[in-house]
Structure 1
Amino acid sequence: MDSTAPGSAPRGLDVFRRGWETQVGDDVFQLPAFNPDTTGDFRVKGNVAKVHGAAIADLHAASATRTADVPGGDQDLIAMYVVRSGSWTLGGPPGYGDQTVPTGQFLVRHLGRLTAFDTTAHLTAKFLVLPPSELKPLLGNRVITGPADSAEMRLLTALTDMIHATVADLGPAGVLAAQNTLIELTKAVVKGRFDDVEPRMAPALAQAAKDLADRRLADPELSPTMLARELNVSVRTLHRAFAAVGEQVTAYIRHRRLHEARLVLAAPSGRVSISELAAHWQFADGSHFTRAFKKHYGQTPTEYARSTGAASLVPNPHPSGHRLAESA
């Protein structure tokens, strides 16, 4: 759904609403009426996946939005808001004040009816709606908030990204399984812990570890131990999760580092030395890097750079270091 494209205005809201109703439908979440003050410049795009009785929306709002003061309409669902940038202010139930979800935070609550909300411009957020049967007894009237980068939220985010990438290829049983895993991980968010021996968690745990590793590839502390600590699991559990998807943690880190080094070698204006690449991507020295690179790609770094005609390897600026090591 995208109402930000040129020519969408002034029908931006209509474009977005039509996309939502086509892809999700009112049976999961009914879009409320919006305040006319914000419909004239309604620039919002989203990637939405319907997962059985649940839905996931990754939203990017270029313009501020605001609903009508009393949207009306009964709902019975669990809603989660995960804000990466901007803020999302939610109308509270009678007797409670508004609740704002700021950058880097999440909020989970039960919705018995549609409530007013407004979002800032330049909002980036994830919005989940889930069936209430298993979650409502756990939540009750509580509103759960916390950091969007908690261990449980990392797993849930990884799972939603996986669902977005694969849901179109899933059969009915796969879609139902995806919904059930969403519910289990939402329970973990509410409880502040998850069952690390639950087999359904393994793919999400492995993906969350990969996402975290990808952001810290140049960190000398990156290791299975560090990833396990950040995700609040044992190292054994992390290895078991990778094994379940046919991979190894250390091999994943090494291959991703080699991939990034290869991109540097292919850069048009790159001028690097073997020792610089080795040090940056946390290989013991130039010889170890060269051997690993050749084993993975079938060429030494120098051979690969020459074959691309892009980057040029320069002698190591430190006389005591390795100078374009070409060990087999």
Structure 2
Amino acid sequence: MHRTGAEVDGASGVFAVDSTAPGAAPQGLDAFRRGWETQIGDDVFQLPAFSPDTIGDFRVKGKVAKVHGAAIADLHAASATRTADVPGGDQDLIAMYVVRRGAWTLGGPPAYGDQTVSAGQFLVRHLGRLTAFETTADLTAKFLVLPPDVLKPLLGNRVVTGSADSAEMRLLTALTDMIHITVADLGPAGVTAAQGTLIELAKAVAKGRFDDAEPRLAPALAQAAKDLVDRRLADPELSPAMLARELNVSVRTLHRAFAAVGEQVTTYIRHRRLHEARLALVAPSGRLSISELAAHWQFADGSHFTRAFKKHFGQTPTEYARSTEAATLSPDRHPTGRGPAERGAPPPRA
């Protein structure tokens, strides 16, 4: 297991675990439990006792981050997992399960029975005690533990379910990805802000709507829009209006979110398309013509594409392709693209 993180009076922590390698499974659960107890703590969520078959074959890869009383776990379970029959233990927290692959079955109160979160779905509920659960093998999921103060009155005894691809869930996913990347470097104020934004977006998921007047949510909204841009980059319909519609916000709210992080929506789209076009210019197989690249990346024509490319990179597409090819075929360079020093030969004398 690999652990890393920064402790801010116990307010933050992060660890990663991988017991999917051959021979790692027998110690996999112990490694995961040590990481959780050391970096996250039982005060956030008490891990249950697991069944003997789970203990012997615990093949899980994932990362977990803590921000104050909240925790975010991104998990891939290669093996099926199951808790002991009677987990026991009192808790008071909000749990969110977001399943991308496989299924996660949760024990519930007698009146409700078991509940299964299938691939492409999420479930949010209040937990007053530790409950049993089991997962299928090859599970890919996100598990969030959230403090109950704000969310418990909102949920009550309800169990909220929905699509893992809903607009609100996209925002929450973008935020959790950002937290995983930055939490080790956050100071106390940053940890507090991260937790507050996480709770606000969890409220949006539970309500099924986004509070676009909440300024702390702007970075998460901008990141969710960027993720969507990267998936739809060649789509001729890609625009601020389409992004706003997909994320269930107004176009004005989307523009405000980008402005808050110092960017513009249309500029981001154009720069991402230019970057991909530049990569295509030097692709080893089957280069497209300038007019073909312009059409593929939704520029009006070859001339418009060329002007935009030169303004951004300082060279026309043709000049860039020629200069890259010349550098590759330089006498000081090996046909593989490596220079003398890189392939073990002595460097030329001065």
Return the offset for 1:100.
0.6
Aligned-pair identity in percent equals 89
Match for residue 54 of structure 1? 70
Cα distance in 2, alignment partners of residues 64 and 235 from structure 1: 43
Match of 1:141 among 157, 163, 166: 157
Deviation string 1:188-234 (CA, Å, 9 cap, x unpaired) is 11111121011111111111111111110010000000001111111
- Secondary structure of 2:63's aligned partner: strand
Match for residue 202 of structure 2? 186
Amino acid at match of 1:251: T
Match for residue 208 of structure 1? 224
Is 1:265 aligned to 2:301, yes or no?
A: no
Q: Work out whether residues 16 and 45 of structure 1, in 8 Å CA contact, stay in contact via their aligned partners in 2.
A: no
Match for residue 274 of structure 1? 290
Match of 1:12 among 25, 28, 35: 28
Deviation beyond 4 Å, 4+ runs, structure 1: none
Match for residue 291 of structure 1? 307
Cα distance in 2, alignment partners of residues 285 and 246 from structure 1: 29
Deviation string 1:130-160 (CA, Å, 9 cap, x unpaired) is 0001111110110000001111111111111
Cα distance in 2, alignment partners of residues 74 and 258 from structure 1: 55
After TM superposition, the structure 1 = structure 2 runs for residues 52-131 of structure 1, keeping only pairs within 5 Å, are: 52-131=68-147
Match for residue 12 of structure 2? none
After TM superposition, the structure 1 = structure 2 runs for residues 223-238 of structure 1, keeping only pairs within 5 Å, are: 223-238=239-254
Q: Work out whether residues 168 and 209 of structure 2, in 8 Å CA contact, stay in contact via their aligned partners in 1.
A: yes
Is 1:26 aligned to 2:42, yes or no?
A: yes
Amino acid at match of 1:82: V
CA-based RMSD: 1.6
What is the TM-score with the length of structure 1 in the denominator?
0.92
Cα distance in 2, alignment partners of residues 17 and 191 from structure 1: 33
- Secondary structure of 1:227's aligned partner: helix
Match for residue 318 of structure 2? 302
Match of 2:191 among 168, 175, 181: 175
Cα distance in 2, alignment partners of residues 9 and 65 from structure 1: 12
Q: Work out whether residues 290 and 301 of structure 1, in 8 Å CA contact, stay in contact via their aligned partners in 2.
A: yes
Q: Work out whether residues 29 and 129 of structure 1, in 8 Å CA contact, stay in contact via their aligned partners in 2.
A: yes
Q: Work out whether residues 210 and 249 of structure 2, in 8 Å CA contact, stay in contact via their aligned partners in 1.
A: no
Cα distance in 1, alignment partners of residues 193 and 58 from structure 2: 35
Structure 2: unaligned runs, 5 residues or longer: 1-16, 327-350
